Amino acid sequence: MRRAAVKLNSENLRTILDQVAEGVYVLDTDDRIVLWNAPCEILTGYTARETVGRRCSDELLMHVDGAGHRLCFDSCPMKAARDDGQPRQAEVFLRHKEGHRVPVRVHISPLRASTGEILGAVQSFVDISDKIAALEQVRRLQDLAYLDTLTGLANRRFLEEALEARLNESGRYGWTLGVIMMDIDHFKTINDTYGHEAGERVLQTVARTLRGATRSYDLVGRWGGEEFLAILSRTSREDLSSIAERYRALAEQSDVRIRGGRLRVTLSLGAALADRSGETPAALVARADELLYQSKRAGRNRVAVETSALQYG
């Protein structure tokens, strides 16, 4: 007896795509989402009910590159693939429903009819943050009482010990070492206006964004209050400046849901390179902290590296 042919339609196609490991969604020629699989829901926090029928740029994922430039309105790889029929791939940061940024690798292909006409584009994506390593680090920090329980990052005690160890290592082997001190702008006003629960959510959003933007061999943690510290191993002055700017830009493109709206978050940063013989951890952090306050005095949402400040409108 011949088996009946299975007719492929949107319903069973969604069922099939729900079984794959990657997030997959499809845009039509009007930039509207027509399919959103289950891994998309896990990776972004948005359900199919919230996304199907809406445009990708309608305050949803709002992809940005490492410099914080929004791709939905300029250089969108989905639109480019649909326009010229060529596949694309890129590493970008999507905005999670909770407001923080998630690093993903995306693959985009045009969708064609049998006639060759382009009907839309499909994107698949995977989270490229090292989740297994991050979870193991959290477990280890918990065991050693080195975990900041609110943000899930390393606490100040661990940062201080790690910085001293890496400075000693740097001195022995001649490696360069950099630190970036970061402070959430207007944090007291956020607490006073929206309450401490909102302040905690802001801290958690910033922490998740920083974790996703940090290289696997570097370390970022909560220094205290609304301050964070990143320790960058074997880094050049150019890398130090570039990574600090990445932190700033991605924080600026993150936000927190508050009272039916979204609260914008920005950081002021100071970045210092440990290139002085015999410099102590306290002295290096103090230099980065002074640079941070240069950024504050210059108008906030800025990066100051050594004696210069990079400004943004």
More confident residue, 300 or 91: 300
pLDDT of residue 96: 92
CB 180 within 8 A of CB 230: yes
Q: What's the angle, vertex CA 58, arms to CA 55 and CA 60, rounded to 5?
A: 100
In the chain, DSSP assigns E strands to 23-28, 33-36, 88-95, 101-112, 118-127, 177-184, 219-224, 227-233, 255-258, 261-264, 267-273, 303-305, 308-310
Tokens of 36: 């959103």
Q: Which whole number is the average pLDDT over 31-55?
A: 91
pLDDT, averaged across the chain = 86
Task: Kindly state the percentage of the chain with pLDDT values over 70.
Answer: 88
Q: Is 226 tagged catalytic?
A: yes
- 19 pLDDT more than 60: yes
pLDDT at 75: 76
Q: Which of 91, 160, 197, 226 is catalytic?
A: 226
Q: pLDDT tens across 134-179, in order?
A: 656 666 776 677 889 899 899 999 899 899 989 988 877 788 899 9
Q: pTM surpassing 0.85? A: no
196: Cβ–Cβ under 8 A, 6 or more apart, which residues? none
What pLDDT is recorded for position 282? 93
Helix or strand or coil: residue 17? helix
